[in-house]
Amino acid sequence: MGWQLSALRDERVVFTGVGFMTAGLIFFGMHTWLTLWRDETIVTPNRPKTQYITQQTEDSLELKTLDTLLGHYNPSIKETAAKIICDRAASDPVLLETLLRGITSQDYDERVKNLRALAIICSPRVLPLLNTWKSYSAIVRCLELSLDPEQEILDNDSWDDYPLRDISEKMCFVFLEQLVDHYGPLKLIHAKFVERWLSKQNWGFTAEDKERNFHNYMLYKDNKVRKLADAVCKTELGRAALVKCGLMSQESADDFAAEQADNQNLLDTSGDRYNLLLSINMGRTPRAQETSAEEQRIRHRNREAIVMNDGTRPIGRDDIIHRDSA
């Protein structure tokens, strides 16, 4: 302890300690000041603001500029340029008429090119513009030009020919299916779809073969051709066209119309029964109470019925056999 006390009394030791403390304070002070100065002098770039392309900006872009943007390396820019071009094409009736004229060209490559362009711009907003007689006529004409002269007879019930059809026919079916689903088949019938294309398929050589093969095609196939033909067949005008072209006999057309009427009546009866049961369950109508067990048994017996249908046709009234009340 003696030497420590003597060292503390030594002025050199004291001044040395004070010197180290001063140097440390100066070092940490300078380090803090330089750090603050560095942080203040750093220039941070401003974050880019999100900008949206307005309609005025789109309209100001020239076709040459859009063509350059389509070749841009950025996928987002390419997609935006493609959308602008498609929107312009969809809102231009002259261009739409040009495409419809192009799908009726005699040149196969020209038809496919115009069909692809029409498929690109076709959207729910453009679909009403295609709901015209001119559009239906052009699409049916394209189908007529795509007829295969070497098509096999459509008499194989277990083989579907649709996947092997030409791409031009498939694209036409896509357009027609959307139009018929939204607007019905009347304009398609007026465009002579049955006379100009459906009846020209290879259904056979004799009248009996044509009727039988067409009937089996409608019965066993499940493709877009069958769906369009079924939509046509559900209208009186369509059945008349099928009878005129020999794909359906008048007797078959009358039977089909009768089955449709029976099915509609059956659906209406089912709907009325559902509404009655719903009102009973909701407490709107007092439910009749059986007076005895024998009366309840007779009620259940009268409700029993047998349905004789193999599933190849819609259920009609003739297929339902009720039990005798005795």
Other C-beta atoms within 10 Å of 247: how many? 26
Round to whole Å and give the CA distance between 191 and 183: 14
Give the residue, 44 or 263, on which the prediction is more confident: 44
Give the DSSP letter of residue 94: H
List the structure tokens of 126: 């453009």
Contact 58, 69 (CB under 8 A): no
> What is the structure's pLDDT at 119?
85
Tell me: the pLDDT tens digits for 170-227? Answer: 999 999 999 999 999 999 999 999 999 999 999 988 889 899 999 999 888 889 999 9
Q: How many DSSP H helices and E strands does the chain contain? A: 17, 2
List the structure tokens of 34: 């330089």
Give the DSSP letter of residue 3: H
Give the residue, 69 or 185, on which the prediction is more confident: 185
Tell me: the pLDDT tens digits for 261-314? Answer: 766 655 555 455 545 544 545 444 444 444 566 666 666 655 555 656 566 666
SS3 253: helix
Contact 131, 176 (CB under 8 A): no
Round to whole Å and give the CA distance between 52 and 19: 64
Contact 203, 154 (CB under 8 A): yes
In this predicted structure, the answer to whether residue 52 has a pLDDT above a threshold of 80 is no
Tell me: the pLDDT tens digits for 142-162? Answer: 999 999 888 888 888 888 889
φ, ψ for residue 322 (rounded to 5)?
-90, 150
List the structure tokens of 58: 């789109």
In this predicted structure, the answer to whether residue 259 has a pLDDT above a threshold of 70 is yes
Other C-beta atoms within 10 Å of 193: how many? 26
What is the maximum alpha-carbon separation in the chain? Answer: 135
Tell me: the pLDDT tens digits for 76-124? Answer: 877 777 777 777 777 777 888 888 999 999 999 999 998 988 888 777 7
List the structure tokens of 308: 């004789």
Round to whole Å and give the CA distance between 172 and 166: 10
**How much of the chain is in helix, strand and coil states, percent to nearest 5?**
70, 0, 30
